Chains A and B, each alone.
Chain A
Amino acid sequence: DIVMTQSPDSLAVSLGERATINCKSSQSVLYSSNNKNYLAWYQQKPGQPPKLLIYWASTRESGVPDRFSGSGSGTDFTLSISSLQAEDVAVYYCQQYYTTPLTFGGGTKVEIK
Chain B
Amino acid sequence: EVQLVESGGGLVQPGRSLRLSCAASGFTFDDYAMHWVRQAPGKGLEWVSGISWNSGSIVYADSVKGRFTISRDNAKNSLYLQMNSLRAEDMALYYCAKDSDSYGYGWHDYWGQGTLVTVSS
Partners in one complex: no
